[in-house]
A and B are shown apart, each in its own frame.
Chain A
Amino acid sequence: GIQVEQSPPDLILQEGANSTLRCNFSDSVNNLQWFHQNPWGQLINLFYIPSGTKQNGRLSATTVATERYSLLYISSSQTTDSGVYFCAVGDKYNFNKFYFGSGTKLNVKP
């Protein structure tokens, strides 16, 4: 299967700080998504971004498919950004198979 590595594993920020989360993957993919899992366990889809750059408010993401990595930027972080951020990639040979990274646990302090 596809190996998905996320870094850093843990991140502590002061409210208002910016951060960059990274996702490396081991093979070509047909799908890449970023998710936020809040402290109650709910997974929220942030971006569908197999390539290129997208922005949504304080969040933006960039995927460089040829170099097999994606970045999630969080600007002006808020305490509500706390939780775990997962990167998930789709297998190009099996459109319904997704591989999740181990996540980045973010704690934003007031």
Chain B
Amino acid sequence: SAVISQKPSRDICQRGTSLTIQCQVDSQVTMMFWYRQQPGQSLTLIATANQGSEATYESGFVIDKFPISRPNLTFSTLTVSNMSPEDSSIYLCSVLRGGETQYFGPGTRLLVL
């Protein structure tokens, strides 16, 4: 299994501001994943974060809006920039263990006013 923590657990932000979400894993992993879950919806992959290289973004997500850092093998951050109410979602980080099983952090609930 994997123990993953995220900070903050929730936040309420004003439009136009930015929020950085942290994700910490209990042991080293090659890749970390960031997902967005809009209210009542399924999960959508934002990007894959590799240590030592730029993140790989999925279609519809861009680095200027969702910059990601991956300074080491146990930590990553996702920033939601210049927020609008449409960014209100749960943001989740995850890791893949053994090349098979995906484990998720508890999520960050973001409300943008």
Contact = CB atoms under 8 A, between A and B. Distances in A.
A20 interface: no
Given A42-B106, A86-B43, A96 B33 contact: yes
A95 B99 contact: yes
A96 B104 contact: no
Contact of B101 (A45, A96, A101): A45
A89 to B, nearest CB: 11
B103 interface: yes
Nearest to B109: A41
Contacts of A86: 42-43
Contacts of A41: 90, 106-107, 109
A21 interface: no
Interface in A22-58: 31, 33, 35, 41-43, 45, 48
Interface in A88-110: 88, 95-98, 100-103
Nearest to A44: B104
A101 B43 CA distance: 8
A100 B33 CA distance: 14
Given A45-B104, A98-B45, 8 more contacts: A35-B104, A42-B106, A42-B107, A45-B101, A86-B43, A96-B48, A96-B96, A100-B43
